[in-house]
Structure 1
C-alpha cells in the first residue's frame, strides 16, 4: 500500500513588491495586488496559508475608472442607526480618499476570515509617489 504525503511549505519571510497605480484601471490593479498578497505567483502557493508578499502601492490618487463608473459607481456604508446610510460616488471617493478606494477594491478580492485579514495587513497604499518602505527594497512590478 502506497503512502502519500501532502507537501506543506515552511513559513517564510514575505518579500516586498512595489506597484505604481498611476494611469492603471482600478480593477486591474486590485486583482494583481490580490494575487500577490495571496501568493498565487509563487510555485509553493497554498490556499490555506499566507505565503504571499507585502505589497506597497504608490500613486493611488492617479488610478483610473473606466466607462461610466465615475458617475454610476457608489460606495455605501451603514452605521447601524436609523438614517445612518452614507453614499459616496466613486468620483468623490477618488478625489477625497483614493487610498480607501484601492483598499476597498483589494479587500473584496481576498478570502474572508482570519487568513484574509492577515493578507490584508500586508498591503500598504499611499496616495503619492513617496513611501516609507525603501529599507525593505521592494521589487517594482508592472500591472498588465
Structure 2
C-alpha cells in the first residue's frame, strides 16, 4: 500500500475571483464568510500556513446593516500613539464617511495575525457602491 501524504505547492493553487453584494447583509455574518473564502477554508487543499484562498470583491458597502441598537451604540477606537490620543468614531458616522473601512476592519480582525494575515488581507477589495474595476477577472457571484 502506497500511502504518500499530499503537500500543496504554490504552483498547484488556483485562485478565483468572487464578488459579493453587501446590500442589506448583516456585517458580522458577511465578514465571517469573506474571511472564510479569503483563507481558502472552502477548498480541499486548505493548508493553514499557506495562502490558498481566493480574491473577494465587495460592492455596496454603504448599504450594510447591523442588528439591534448597534447602529447607534457601536464605537470604533484607535490610538494615535500620543498621550491621551484615543480617538472614537461611531458606526453611524463611519458608514457615511468611509463604509469600506467598516468591512475591512471587521475582516482584518478575523484573519491570522502576522505576515500571512497581511498577505491574505490584500486580496480583499471593497467598494462603496456597485461600481468596481475588476470586470476583466470575470468574478463569480457569491450568494449568501
User: TM-score, normalised to structure 2's length?
Assistant: 0.93
4+ runs deviating over 3 angstroms: 2-6
CA distance in 1, matches of 2:49, 2:4: 17
Task: Report deviation, 1:9.
Answer: 1.4
Secondary structure at 1:43 match in 2: coil
1:1-144 equivalent positions in 2, closer than 5 A = 5-11=4-10, 12-143=13-144
Please list every run of 5 or more consecutive structure 2 residues that lacks an aligned counterpart in the other structure. Answer: none
Give the length in aligned residue pairs. Answer: 142
How far apart are 1:91 and its partner, in Å? 1.0
Calculate the aligned-residue CA RMSD, in Å. 1.4
Unaligned runs of 5+ in 1: none
